[in-house]
Amino acid sequence: MGHQTETHVWDEELAPEPRGRTWRPEAGCPVEVALAAVSGRWTTLLLRELMGGPRGFTELRTLFPDLSAKVLSERLRTLRERGLVAVERRRGFPVRTRYELTRAGEALRVLLVELYATGEELLRLTTASETRDERSPGRLEA
């Protein structure tokens, strides 16, 4: 069976190149990469906070009282591993740590803004008129 890749018509906006033209969730697909970056509970909140500048561990704990130390350091480690956050440790006593976004981490700002905008749009569309089947009369192709 020839794969459907050959015959399928591709939306140039949604899948401009081979990496996006996948038929399974592939780690190399840009969409998956971006989603992985912001995935996990608390992650977007942490990113939002780090967008305001470097923060310390305890500082973050104070800002997010319901976030346990374990999960916080887990999130921060993941963000480090993904190259989105960098750490700086000041020796001495007490120990000081600063977490800050890398360039890659800062690149997520646009996405966060878009997530917010889309979320608001969804809230508008789904709570305003609770009419089932929102589809308007004649519009499929713009």
Partner DNA sequence: CGGGATCCTTACGGATACTG
Partner DNA sequence: CAGTATCCGTAAGGATCCCG
58 membership: H or E segment, kind and range:
helix 57-63
Other CB atoms within 10 Å distance of the CB of residue 75: 20
**Least gap, CB of 73 to DNA (angstroms):** 3
17: helix, coil or strand?
coil
CA distance 21 to 6: 11
Position among 6, 9, 89, 94 found at the interface with a second copy (CB under 8 A): 9
CA distance 92 to 95: 6
Tokens of 85: 């956050």
x-or-dash string of contact with a second copy, 37-66, rule CB under 8 A: xx--xx-xx--x--xxx--------xxxxx
Residue 28 Cα distances to 14, 33, 36, 61, angstroms? 15, 7, 11, 33
Q: Which does 122 bind (CB under 5 to 8 A by kind): a second copy, DNA, none?
A: a second copy
**Least gap, CB of 12 to DNA (angstroms):** 27
Position among 11, 92, 93, 137 found at the interface with a second copy (CB under 8 A): 11
Using CB under 7 A as the binding rule, whether residue 94 contacts DNA is answered as: yes
**Least gap, CB of 24 to DNA (angstroms):** 8
Part of the chain binding DNA (CB under 7 A), chosen from 14-22, 38-46, 100-108, 133-141: 38-46
**Listed residue (42, 43, 41, 18) closest to 30, CA to CA:** 18
Using CB under 8 A as the binding rule, whether residue 18 contacts a second copy is answered as: no
Binding to DNA, residues 54-73 (CB under 7 A): 56-59, 66-71, 73
